[in-house]
Structure 1
């Protein structure tokens, strides 16, 4: 039996997968995980992915080897990759949505966010987290997508949710962004053994589409699917296609 593990992106939570999980997993076991600082059980208290890996492994420790289908978006996909490189036998399949092996630009990596911009965002998270998140949430969508029901629902929900007392641990959410700034798992991708589907929006403004192509080219046997005219949250704005694609992939995996 498969166990479906859904992991959200930065500054969101397990709610973001609610409309997809039932369609994809059907009657199978579902674990919808909150990462540290985002409602999870562990603390994101170091600028690495170790706390996220700890949260994930704690959630799937009782699952048989090869039974877990990991489906992650953005930060959640990065956390999945970090876990799958260390515990490759746990996973029977991976779906990486809007993912990158290296979130910020380096001397030899141009498919990321400018490092000064990420540092500025970390500072802003510590000074004015509500306003920082409000700006960020809009970046998950293209200009055309912002008027769709899916984007409106997402923005309304998370702008309210982020304002709720204690909903997010802002200091830990900022630390998770520091972890993204430092993250570079390009040399570890060969350790991922599970069949992998990489899906990416052509107009993704958070993780450039070239980052997704790189993953598909450097994870053995991975398959890449491009969502034209889609932004970072393509699993919401093109939900039917995403769900169908993932369902077909898992049946083959």
Structure 2
């Protein structure tokens, strides 16, 4: 099972307990850093794309696209000698997983797309407060970084579930100390925006697909999940009431059950 993480986020955000729960059911769980984050290759020589121009629909060259990041994932499977995998992606990771299903269908046994979207420009966009924490200025100061991460978690978590601030602080400390590299985030964001809509291509996907989304997601509104499920023939849709753009501990068992049922032989 290949787990693909989201924008600017390291592989360690896939919680160890979550991974062990999957492994306990017979899955060989693979998590990794996408390009430009964590301990993977950085693309600093490519510069920073003009994100605001991209958002405004202007033509801007981007260092790479989601198709390149999907090729990275397939390359990892090649090195590990994995012919096909159950691919689970969250947020940008869901977009990469969708792109794998489009361009490398034989490598994807099942697809699970969580809190993600199709890139359809006609869908509702992120709420202003979510965009603010996403596009806010980066800091190199550890204390400021931890404060920013907590602020972001409060915005993205959703109103229904309790936010464990101590847990947020601990994973933020681990990520900062492991490899904090904020320059990669705008390039990854450029890959998302620069890749356009996948809706038409997803209509040709024949891979068993599960779509999971929170009803209170402020960053990628639930319409993104609905559009993903609508675009892929036969896709199953699980909407979790009150979940934002995060995995509240209260809903993790439900998410695990859904993934395990979907990927069962």
TM-score band (shorter)?
0.7 to 0.9
Q: Deviations over 1:141-188 (max 9, x none)?
A: 0134343xxx43542134323543x61321112211222233422222
Pair 1:142 & 2:139 matched? no
Contact residue 88 and residue 191 of structure 1 kept, 8 A: no
Q: 1:192 to 1:182 in 2, by over 3 A?
A: same
**Shift of residue 239, structure 1, vs aligned partner:** 0.7
The answer to whether residue 259 in structure 2 is matched with residue 250 in structure 1 is no
Deviations 1:30-80 (A, max 9, x none): 21121112225333552522442232112112212xx30001111111111
Alignment of 1:80 with 2:97, yes or no, is: yes
Runs of 4+ in structure 1 over 4 Å off: 117-123, 126-129, 131-134
Shift of the 239–193 alpha-carbon distance from structure 1 to 2, 3 Å rule, reads same
1:39 aligns with 2:38: yes
Separation of aligned partners in 1, 2:19 and 2:175:
22
**Distance of aligned partners of 1:238 and 1:138 in 2 relative to their CA distance in 1, 3 Å threshold:** same
Ranges in structure 1 where 5+ consecutive residues have no aligned partner: none
Match of 2:111 in 1: 94
Q: Deviations over 1:11-34 (max 9, x none)?
A: 322222222222123233221121
Question: Structure 1 CA distance, aligned partners of 2:93 and 2:154?
Answer: 18
The separation in 1 between residues aligned to 2:114 and 2:202, in whole angstroms, is 16
Equivalence for 2:187:
175
TM-score normalised by structure 2 residue count: 0.78
Q: Which runs of 5+ in 2 are unaligned?
A: 47-62
- Aligned CA distance change for structure 1 residues 222 and 154 (closer, same or farther; 3 Å): farther
State the shift of 1:134 in Å. 4.6
Structure 1 position 22 matched with structure 2 position 39: no
Q: Hey, what's the Cα distance between the residues in 1 that align with 2:64 and 2:132?
A: 13
